[in-house]
Amino acid sequence: MRLETLGFDKVHEYRAGKLDWLAAGLPTEGENNNCPRAGDASRKDPIVCGLKDPVGDVRDRAKAAGWDLAVVVDDDRIVLGMLWSKQLGMDPDLTAEEVMQPGPSTFRPYVPIKEMADHLVEHDHDSVPITTSDGKLVGVLYKSEAVRLAASATACVRKMIT
């Protein structure tokens, strides 16, 4: 780091940097605070279930709450898999573990909504789970909501989906 060579003697480097700060959900300042991010725009009340829950029970809960999906999580709300409408329609006596889509693509809460919307459209995803960097469920972001909010958002210099 160049400051030391310029005579500064109390220089520290936060090498994990801005990405680490954002991933921790800590506040930032700047233009991006004027537009929603994936975490802000996600629905925070998705139906969740455990690995051993019968699909039929999960489907009934999801239907009653107006959801077309459910998120399979562990005791710490770490995302393990997804039950999309297709899986929710399977044999009701099977367990979530037996039918779930394991290891779904997840996205971080700090991703600007414009970038999220572009990604969801490009990859034709109707919805995606939003998680912390250690996999804990934050919510579910629907493409329709991302696209709606992105209409008034500007593209960012730094791409945050890697």
Partner 1 sequence: MFGRRIGIKVAMLIDRETVQEMLKQGAQLVEVLPAKEYAEDHLPGAVSHPLKLLDQEAGQIGRNRPVIVYCWDSA
The alpha carbon of residue 150 and the mean position of all alpha carbons in its chain are separated, in whole angstroms, by: 16
By C-beta, is 51 or 156 nearer to partner 1? 156
By C-beta, is 8 or 144 nearer to partner 1? 8
Nearest approach, Cβ of residue 107 and partner 1 (Å): 16
Nearest approach, Cβ of residue 118 and partner 1 (Å): 16
By C-beta, is 10 or 52 nearer to partner 1? 10
Nearest approach, Cβ of residue 8 and partner 1 (Å): 6
CA–CA separation, 122 vs 51, rounded Å?
Answer: 31
The CA radius of gyration of the chain, in Å to the nearest whole number, is 19
CA–CA separation, 83 vs 90, rounded Å?
Answer: 10
Nearest approach, Cβ of residue 135 and partner 1 (Å): 18
Who contacts 1 (Cβ-Cβ below 8 Å, separation ≥6)?
A: 11, 13
By C-beta, is 64 or 157 nearer to partner 1? 157
Nearest approach, Cβ of residue 109 and partner 1 (Å): 13
By C-beta, is 22 or 58 nearer to partner 1? 22
CA–CA separation, 91 vs 129, rounded Å?
Answer: 24
CA–CA separation, 147 vs 85, rounded Å?
Answer: 21
Give residues in contact with partner 1 (CB under 8 A).
1-8, 10-22, 24, 26-33, 156-158
CA–CA separation, 137 vs 68, rounded Å?
Answer: 17
